[in-house]
Amino acid sequence: MREMSRPRTLFVDWITGLNPRLMVVVIAAVAAACGIGIAVGLAVLGPLYTSAAVVGGLAGLYVLTNAQAALYGVVAIMALLPFGTLPFSIGFTPTLIDVMIGAFLIVYGAQWMVGKRNDFRTTPVHGMLALYVLWILACFVLGLRYAAPTSLILRQFSETILIMLLVFVLVDLLRDPKMLRRLVLVVILCVGVQAVAALVLYRLPDDLAERLLRTLQRIGYPGSNIIRYIEQNPGLPERAIGTWVDPNTLGGALAIAGAMIAPQVFARRPVLRYRVLTLAVLGLIGLALFLTYSRTSMLALGVGLGTIALVRYRRFVPLMLAAGALILLVPQAQDYMQRFIDAFTGGDLATQMRIGEYGDSLKLIGQYPIFGIGFTGSPSIDLYSSVASMYLIMANQIGLVGVALFALVMIAVLGYGYAAWKRVIGDDELESIHLGYHAALIAALVNGIGDLYYFRIDFQASILLFWLTVSLALATSRIALARESKAPPSRKDGGAGDRVDH
């Protein structure tokens, strides 16, 4: 379906309606401006960044005419350049995610203005989500009594609220199962590229990998101390980081994507024609995740895959257990298992530091249990809100009431999904993506136990990934409940069939 055809018609009518001489002047002026811009770019930025700017500009023009393309662009930037910024300032330096979300919202708003949309779609969960957002806003305002906000905190907090409100837009936009299926395909491609990049950078010599990553410094990436090791000790194994820079944020993204993609391996109608390619991408994701040494993310992916197996593919559970047992026999896995044991027994430095953070966090919660301390600063130098757990940092900043509201929203999303699940069983179009989106959300919630990035406002890509997953889960459920399934019933413990999506 073509998007924004009316604006393009108006533009074409305007051009073709010009006096021929004036048209020549307009075309010449545009060509001259482009030529000057490219020349300046070559002189200031160099050929690599200039070429990227030209390609990005052309892609941007297309994105501004197509809502689906804009959404795919958001996913691609989030997966591949999550911390990228524009190479120049406009009073502040927008992130590439800011730019793509802005373009997406412009196209979406234009669709309403030209009459392409006239019926806003919602779910029963939207009301609870709105209440949760209002509570966060209230806690932010109340937290101003402890410290004045900086311009950076104001911008990051505003971006966080905007990302959460995108749930309303995405659920309304995603009305077609084909769009939801294409999004899984986009995730397969983009996260597959990220996994390959992480593995290549991991295998390269450290100095070469760091030099390559330093080329991203012009677009906001760090310029030193990029390579990461376990416990920041170069004597211990290196951790895969890809272009997410931090191994734990990369691990969380890979865990969510892996759970989202996994049902496609067994789907009767997978989104990718060749099932073996989906399996290969899933294997690359698993290997890259393993090399991040993010224990919480590995656990999250395991829970996500276990959910998929128990809900839909129970006959594959023995096979999964056997594969897991074989993996544990690999020598490298022995060290990994020891790290898991250390995590539960407090046997390593990282775990001991987290235990200390958890104790300090509980003290803060005890003093500010209702509203927390907000986002701008602490009332005392002895208190700090940053702690390696989404739920604890949430309690620190928006109080236990805020955590309870968040829990209600998540329970409502999963409950809504459960109600829809009964409708999608046997539906070749919706079943696998519905299961994948909800398994990904469960993986994210598990990952939040030991990582804070889905709520910490300076990690916009992780926050976007979390709420995008919520949006996709709600959208598939809304579509399933809004229509009568035409697919024949099937066994709840079905396996893979022969039909594929062409």
> pLDDT tens across 208-236, in order?
999 999 999 988 999 888 999 988 888 88
User: Quick check: 494 and 435 in contact, CB under 8 A?
Assistant: no
Tell me, what's the pLDDT at 497? 39
Question: Could you tell me the pLDDT band of residue 483, with boundaries at 50, 70 and 90?
Answer: confident
> What pTM value is reported for the model?
0.84
User: Quick check: 302 and 321 in contact, CB under 8 A?
Assistant: no
φ/ψ of 112, rounded to 5, equals -70, -40
Name which of 22-31, 174-183, 464-473 the model is least confident about.
Answer: 22-31
As a whole number, the mean pLDDT across the chain is: 84
Average pLDDT value for residue range 292-305: 93
Handedness of CA 120, 121, 127, 129 (dihedral sign): negative
Question: Could you tell me the pLDDT band of residue 324, with boundaries at 50, 70 and 90?
Answer: confident
Enumerate residues 6+ apart whose C-beta is below 8 A from 375.
Answer: 139, 140, 143, 149, 153, 157, 397, 457
The number of beta carbons lying within 10 Å of the beta carbon of residue 246 is 20
Average pLDDT value for residue range 295-302: 93
pLDDT at 22 > cutoff 70: no
Tell me, what's the pLDDT at 491? 44
* 157-191 pLDDT per residue, tens: 999 999 999 999 999 999 989 999 999 999 999 99
User: Quick check: 124 and 412 in contact, CB under 8 A?
Assistant: yes
The number of beta carbons lying within 10 Å of the beta carbon of residue 277 is 14
Tell me, what's the pLDDT at 498? 38
Tell me, what's the pLDDT at 421? 94
Distance CA 15, CA 26 (A): 9
Report the candidate in 86, 24, 76 with the shortest Cα–Cα distance to residue 52. 86
Average pLDDT value for residue range 333-351: 73
Distance CA 448, CA 306 (A): 17
Question: Could you tell me the pLDDT band of residue 441, with boundaries at 50, 70 and 90?
Answer: very high
Average pLDDT value for residue range 26-40: 56
SS3 238: strand
Pairwise pLDDT comparison (292 vs 382), residue with the higher score: 292
Question: Could you tell me the pLDDT band of residue 35, with boundaries at 50, 70 and 90?
Answer: low
Q: Characterise 242 by phi-psi region: left (phi > 0), alpha (psi -120 to 50), beta (else).
A: left
Tell me, what's the pLDDT at 6? 44
* 97-155 pLDDT per residue, tens: 998 998 899 888 888 887 777 889 999 999 999 999 999 999 999 999 999 999 999 99
Tell me, what's the pLDDT at 75? 94
Total residues belonging to the chain: 502
pLDDT at 379 > cutoff 60: yes
Pairwise pLDDT comparison (295 vs 51), residue with the higher score: 295
Tell me, what's the pLDDT at 413? 98
Handedness of CA 406, 408, 412, 418 (dihedral sign): positive
Enumerate residues 6+ apart whose C-beta is below 8 A from 481.
Answer: 416, 419, 420, 423
Q: How far, CA to CA in Å, does 228 sit from each of 12, 241, 375?
A: 52, 7, 28
The number of beta carbons lying within 10 Å of the beta carbon of residue 114 is 13
Handedness of CA 73, 74, 76, 77 (dihedral sign): positive
Pairwise pLDDT comparison (119 vs 418), residue with the higher score: 418
Tell me, what's the pLDDT at 260? 97
Distance CA 252, CA 444 (A): 7
Tell me, what's the pLDDT at 208? 94
The number of beta carbons lying within 10 Å of the beta carbon of residue 443 is 31
Distance CA 460, CA 85 (A): 12
* 236-264 pLDDT per residue, tens: 889 999 999 899 999 999 999 999 999 99
Distance CA 6, CA 118 (A): 16
* 79-103 pLDDT per residue, tens: 999 999 988 787 888 899 998 998 8
pLDDT at 48 > cutoff 60: no
Q: How far, CA to CA in Å, does 79 sit from each of 155, 178, 325, 388?
A: 22, 21, 31, 22
Strand-pairing partners, residue 145, are none
